[in-house]
Amino acid sequence: MWPFFGRNTQQVSTNTPSPRYTGSEQQAPRQSPMRFAELVSGMGGFDDFKNHDTALKFWLPEAANTALEEISEMNGSSMSEALRQLFVTHCYGIYAFQVMTQANPKLFKDPGQVMFSRGVSEPPAGKKRVETYWVPELGKNVMPVKVWIPKRMRHDLQLLADHVGIKLSQYLREIVIARLLGHGTLPMRPEMLKAEPLPSAEDWCEDHELTMREATENEYFKHPLGERRIEWVDD
C-alpha cells in the first residue's frame, strides 16, 4: 500500500531506517506480520490531491468504454470522476479512499463547468463559412480516454506500471477493463473486447504526431482531442 509509494518517492522519513523502506530488493524477513498501524503510517497528507493538474491518456475497447459511460450515468457522475475514484482505490485501497472522501467529499469531483461561446465571425463578401471536424484516427472499436488527475496519483500509477514492466497506457487499460468487467474477462478478452488499434493509438497516448480523420460535429465535441477547421468558400 502506501509504504511502496513512500519508499519510491522518498517521502518516508530516513531518520530511523528500516529494511522494508530502503528500496533494496534484498529485504530482511520480518519477524512478525505488519500491523495495520504500520501499514497506514505512510499515508501522510493528501492536500495535493485537490489539484487535478496532469492528464492521463489511454484507449479502451468500445465495450469497456460503453460500460464506463453507463456506470457514470447510473451513479450521476462524470466519466472523469469515475476514473479518478477507480485509480485512487487501485493505488491506495478502499480504506484510504474512504478516509480521503470523508475529509473532503468533493476531492475527486470535476470543477464547475466552464461556459463558453463558439463564436461565429461574419463571412467576407460573397463567401460562406464551412467548418469541418477532425479527430485522431485510432482504429476500429478503439475509444480514446483522457482524464485529469493529481500529479501524485499519476506518479504512483507510473510506479506500478514500471513495477510490472509495461507502458502506463497499457497498465491503465488493463486495470480499467478488469475493474469494469471483472477479471473473468481476461481469458475471453481477445474475442469479447476485440479492438483493432492503429499505431496512432499509442501515438495519441504518448502525445506524438497523429493521423486525423474527418468526424461529425457531435463526435468532435464528445472526443477528448480534435480540431475544428474553418474555411471561407464561394457562396
Whether 31 is covered by a domain: the verdict is no
The single-letter code of the amino acid at 136 is P
Residue 227 CA, distance from chain mean position: 22
pLDDT tens digits in sequence order for the chain, 235 residues long: 465 676 554 443 333 333 333 344 455 565 677 787 777 776 767 788 888 999 999 999 999 999 999 999 999 989 999 999 999 999 988 988 998 888 888 888 887 554 444 555 566 777 888 889 998 899 888 989 999 999 999 999 999 999 999 999 999 999 999 999 998 887 777 777 788 999 999 998 998 888 889 999 888 887 877 889 888 888 7
Whether 161 is covered by a domain: the verdict is yes
For the chain, helix (H) and strand (E) counts, in that order, are 9, 7
Whether 101 is covered by a domain: the verdict is yes
Whether 235 is covered by a domain: the verdict is no
Pick from 99, 201, 204, 83: nearest CA to 153: 83
Whether 105 is covered by a domain: the verdict is yes
- Domain count for the chain, please give it: 1
Whether 2 is covered by a domain: the verdict is no
- What's the burial of 86, exposed, middle or buried (CB within 10 Å: 0-12/13-18/19+)? buried
Whether 99 is covered by a domain: the verdict is yes
Cα(73)–Cα(212) distance, rounded to whole angstroms?
A: 29
Whether 178 is covered by a domain: the verdict is yes
Q: Domain span at residue 174?
A: 49-112+142-205
